[in-house]
Amino acid sequence: MQSLHNGKGNKINSNKHFIPLQSNINFMTSLQDRIRQLSSDLFPEMVAIRRHLHQYPELSKMEFQTMEFVCSRLNEYGIPFRKEIAGTGIMALIEGRNPGSRCIGLRADMDALPIQEINEVEYKSNHPGVMHACGHDVHTTILLGAARILKNLSGEWEGTLKLFFQPSEETYPGGAISMINEGVLEDPSPEFIIGQHVFPLLNAGMAGFCPGLFMASTDEFFLTVKGKGGHGAMPQLAVDPILIAAHIVIALQQIVSRNANPIVPTVVTIGRIIGEGRTNVIPREVTMDGTVRTFDEAWRKQVHEKIRTIATLTAEAMGGQCEVKFAAGYPFLNNDQDLTTRLRSLAGTYLGNENAVSVDQKMGAEDFAYFAQARPSCFYALGIANPALGIKGNLHTADFNVDETSIDTGIGLMTWIALNLMQGSK
């Protein structure tokens, strides 16, 4: 087993550091009710943790304060850990009875986005231009809360739970593959890995599941269209890269409409065009940035070649040139069919069947896909919206926020899922 420490070079004595939850629970009460009660007892503390993380967001690969904060909480809970994995990641272990009998992994991501928050709340980001606009503060809080309850109940289940607090989900190549390459899936090796993501299209108190293909692969491409600059009143003496770029944008749309198999979802989007001219100045070059999303690895490679061919030949046909570069992103995310079906059933039991629903495939991407490639996994959606309170902002927007009751739901559900998986047959 990997050597775990408290971040100061000292091995943790879990019993020495553990501060148990205080709760007036009748231990003859059902496991569901006990989890609900423990999560409810933790709720004020967890809201405070989420708000602290929200106030002090850190960008990908820069989550140094976040890492130390999480480590301090794990220390308080008596949970041994190893930090500075993939730079700022953390791996922790909670052992139940007979810890070698099985292992299951739970994952949360920690990084924020380069967005200026416009919410006027008491816990508004204190870091200008940086915001938890994707809910990673909530993910981290929920995993901490679930960890505390699972530690509290560790005498009642068998096996080992492995916790991944992952950095850099928002920036390629992503923290997941880096953590995996540093051995976090070994010694012990998780049988399953579970993750969740806040989901603004579901109300707080709900969870959504999609067996099989759930989220798309993602790659970025960068085009530099080169022409010949000139005066806007004398276009015959120039080679206009803006016109060439416009033709390339239109031509690239045929990849989806005429080259893609209609049953394989595909997106080709140009999201940024820069041509530094003026009303009367034709620029020398234009740059364009875009993204490619799909669910088929062979087709994914073909799309790259089609973009390259269309862009370069279109530019040449119009007297210019086009340089094409790609940045490989994340693979598509495939939820294990049997595991995801099982987790939806467990969620129905815990939340009520009306609150455990199906969600559609998404063209968004997630580097949890690397965990899902390595082990049978389930990545599910956690509802956070509350239109009555005006909480309906989408992911990656400056007004993104969550109904904080979703933290209670998320902690309870993740704990319930983990305990049921640990008690299942191997």
Q: Domains, the chain, ranges and CATH?
A: 14-215+332-423 (3.40.630.10), 217-328 (3.30.70.360)
User: Residue 393: pLDDT band by 50, 70, 90 thresholds?
Assistant: confident
Mean pLDDT of 168-174: 96
Over 60: is that where the pLDDT of 110 sits? Answer: yes
Residues 6+ away with beta carbon under 8 Å from 9: none
Concatenated DSSP letters of 310-353: HHHHHHHHTT-EEEEEEEE-PPPEEE-HHHHHHHHHHHHHHH-G
Give yes or no for a contact between 110 and 164, defined as CB atoms under 8 angstroms apart: no
Give the pLDDT score at 30. Answer: 87
Mean pLDDT of 22-49: 82
Low-confidence winner among 8-12, 160-164, 232-236, 311-315 (lowest mean pLDDT):
8-12
pLDDT, greater one: 33 or 7: 33
Active site residues per annotation:
111, 169
**Whole-number Å distance between alpha carbons of 77 and 92:** 11
- pLDDT tens, 249-270? 999 999 999 999 999 999 999 9
Over 80: is that where the pLDDT of 21 sits? Answer: no
Q: How many CB atoms lie within 10 A of CB 362?
A: 19
Cis amide prior to 173 (ω within 30 degrees): yes
Give the pLDDT score at 347. Answer: 98
**Whole-number Å distance between alpha carbons of 194 and 101:** 18
Two structure tokens written together for 210: 């999609």
**Going along 86-159, which residue ranges are E strands?**
89-95, 103-109
Query: Mean of the per-residue pLDDT values for the chain?
Result: 93
User: Residue 22: pLDDT band by 50, 70, 90 thresholds?
Assistant: low
Mean pLDDT of 317-345: 97
**Whole-number Å distance between alpha carbons of 216 and 334:** 9
Give the pLDDT score at 4. Answer: 57
Which amino acid, 63? E
Q: How many CB atoms lie within 10 A of CB 44?
A: 9
Residues 6+ away with beta carbon under 8 Å from 310: 248, 251, 252, 254, 255
Burial of 107 (C-beta count, 10 Å sphere; 0-12/13-18/19+): buried
Residues 6+ away with beta carbon under 8 Å from 302: none
Mean pLDDT of 399-408: 97
Does pTM top 0.85 for this prediction? yes
Give yes or no for a contact between 97 and 155, defined as CB atoms under 8 angstroms apart: yes
**Whole-number Å distance between alpha carbons of 26 and 371:** 38
**Whole-number Å distance between alpha carbons of 282 and 386:** 49
Which of 6, 196, 162, 161 lies closest to 84 in space, CA to CA?
6
Which of 262, 154, 274 lies closest to 224 in space, CA to CA?
274
Q: How many CB atoms lie within 10 A of CB 324?
A: 18
